[in-house]
Amino acid sequence: MEKYERIRVVGRGAFGIVHLCLRKADQKLVILKQIPVEQMSKDERLAAQNECQVLKLLSHPNVIEYYENFLEDKALMIAMEYAPGGTLAEFIHKRCNSLLDEDTILHFFVQILLALHHVHTKQILHRDLKTQNILLDKHRMIVKIGDFGISKILSSKSKAYTVVGTPCYISPELCEGKPYNQKSDIWALGCVLYELASLKKAFEAANLPALVLKIMSGTFAPISDRYSPDLRQLILSMLNLDPSKRPQLNEIMAQAICIRPLLNLYTDVGSVKMRRPEKPLAPVPTVTHSRTGGRVSSARPRGVRGGSARTGIPPPLSSIYTWGSGITTPLRLPMLNTEVVQVSAGRTQKAGVTKSGRLIMWEAPPMGAAGGPSLPGATEQLQPQFVSRFLEGQSGVTIKHVSCGDLFTACLTDRGIIMTFGSGSNGCLGHGNFTDVSQPKIVEALLGYEMVQVACGASHVLAVSNEREVFAWGRGDNGRLGLGTLECHNSPQQVAVPPEHEAQRVICGIDSSMILTVKNQILACGSNRCNKLGLDRISSTEEPSPENQVEEATVFTCAQSAPLNQEPIVCADIGTAHSAAVTDGEVCTWGKGARGRLGRKDEETGMPRPVQLEETHPYMVTSVACCHGNTLLAVKPAMEESPSQ
């Protein structure tokens, strides 16, 4: 809300509150639709998501313009164009019994007609066209249709089935529960035209059953004979009980009664303002390192040793260290006065989540800002410097988890909403495009789901919902998305998980992915280099044979290597060419063994079969992490067995 100043509440509805606001950048009045997501059902979230999707698809002078959306105070905020003239319903109500002249009626009607034609060309059904959803400019000459909360995007010439809409405007086929298409919107358009001509609704009744009977019979009072027979015939044609006999929108436009108002509309230069092309978002500045594989670790200081007794400065609430990517020893990162409970690192990103749910970032300063050798020819190596800051634009949003990829970041809110920002290359942000985004933006395609976990690879993302649904997007080569192809996707795609399995957690590697199931089994897809996914069929006693080796998998497949296919897996992680898994407090490693990454001195060349490490005793491993050339374990002392009595 930093960009907007609230002026007043202009409306309240089933889905939230509508605010009139001032956009500070250009002093323009805009509407902010506030939709609370904290207590919304899945269907209500889908409706909110649908409205954003539909508005972004539409660009027409007679359709309310969409600006942006963001999260604020546990609510989805949709910024859109403000129409100061109120609704067409209010305009009609103020007329009392003073009928409009036919030219005014047709002037309004053809604008609605053009807007609806634009909507239908985008394969969208409005499904709630009514005078309350048609807005006017300040001169009450230009109309704009809005409120696309229950609109439906049709994938083809399919028909919709759900009974939605305002009762007075629903079509006979909706009343009967039959499938419907654009012809139901044309019925509603006929109702709107009737209302303009008669100043009352075509179908009204004391209760819903009586209303349905009226609609099904198609009986309504005739309009005044002051209007032309052509206008009366146009209304009758749109309110035909048989959808197939209602005219198409282009047929209505071609009728003689509409040609003159259409010509007047387009020859009255300047009466309808066309919108300017949308400005592209500014690219996100990036910092390039010579190597990848940076690592971040968080630690809580013990006692008061971190503070200074001489200065009286209290110790930091958390200490964060990073190493790798040219940093040879752990470097303590600068801290804000907060406690960090979870961290993640990508190629350039270093991020953490604070105890209060804020996102903290550590960034390299601009070139030359960190100081350095000032004498010509100086060659001493300086320790890299970083600047810490809270991420802007998350006011009122509580972050629960963060995951960093290669030049991009994904975070999960406490309300199950995923937000992403950074580089849009490879479609990793999931926004349906490849545009860079500098501040967290909602992944709108997932608004209808309550997400519980998100994981980033170098250039792809996996996420899982509370109903065990798995979604993937980003680069698809090697089959890492588990969608059965090598294609890339810039918006979330639902992954087909084998029906006998339920996803509990997702894991992303450089070029592969894993799902840890509710029954503690591993499903994997992507590159199986060095059998790092455990997809080779290997028993505990046999060596792998060429015919049992899997190069890559494009769908999620059960691990076939013993003991991964026999023991319950508590947690696992994937490196570039090796992996590790924890089974009942013990750890197995396998894959490429260079530089001792498998934890075995005698296995420098590699080990395709997962083997348990005995060296972890007397500790119990609680979690494991792999990167390019090393493996980290989190352990706790093993519980000693009590002596038998």
Q: For residue 502, how far is the Cα from the chain centroid? A: 22
CA angle 473, 477, 479 (to 5 degrees): 75
DSSP conformation letters of 93-139? HHTTT-PPPHHHHHHHHHHHHHHHHHHHHTTEE-----GGGEEE-TT
Place of tokens 């050798």: 373
- Cα–Cα separations (whole angstroms), residue 395 to 176, 276, 398: 47, 30, 8
| CA nearest neighbour of 218 among 193, 197, 191, 199 | 191
The residues facing 607 across adjacent strands are 591
DSSP string computed for 539-555: -SSSPPPGGG--SEEEE
Cβ atoms 357, 390 nearer than 8 A? no
Q: How many CA atoms lie within 13 A of 522 on its CB side?
A: 32
Ramachandran region of residue 364, left (φ > 0), alpha (ψ -120 to 50) or beta?
A: beta
- The C-alpha atoms of residue 414 and residue 410 are separated, in whole angstroms, by 14
SS3 for 300-369 is CCCCCCCCECCCCECCCCCEEEEEECCEEEEEECCCCCCCEEEEEECCCCEEEEECCCCEEEEECCCCCC
- 128 is an active site residue: yes
For residue 213, give the H/E element and its range. helix 208-217
Instruction: Give the Cβ contact number of residue 420 at 10 Å.
Output: 24
Q: Give residue 492's Cα distance to chain centre.
A: 8
Tally of residues, the chain: 645
Sign of the torsion angle spanned by Cα atoms 222, 224, 225, 231: negative
Measuring CA to CA, which residue among 204, 219, 205, 224 is closest to residue 105? 224
b/e per residue 270-291 (b: at least 16 CB within 10 A)? eebeeeeeeeeeeebeeeeeee
Using an 8 Å Cβ cutoff, are 361 and 349 in contact? yes
The single residue listed with the structure tokens 């509309």 is 265
CA distance 561 to 576: 18
Residue recorded with tokens 């129409």: 83
- 421 forms beta bridges with 409
Rounded Cα distance between 140 and 645, Å, is 91
| CA contacts within 13 A on the Cβ side of 131 | 22
Q: Which residue among the candidates 128, 436, 536, 573 is catalytic per the annotation?
A: 128
Spatial distance between the Cα atoms of 578 and 590, rounded to a whole number of angstroms: 6
Strand partners, 517: 503
Residues acting as catalytic residues: 128
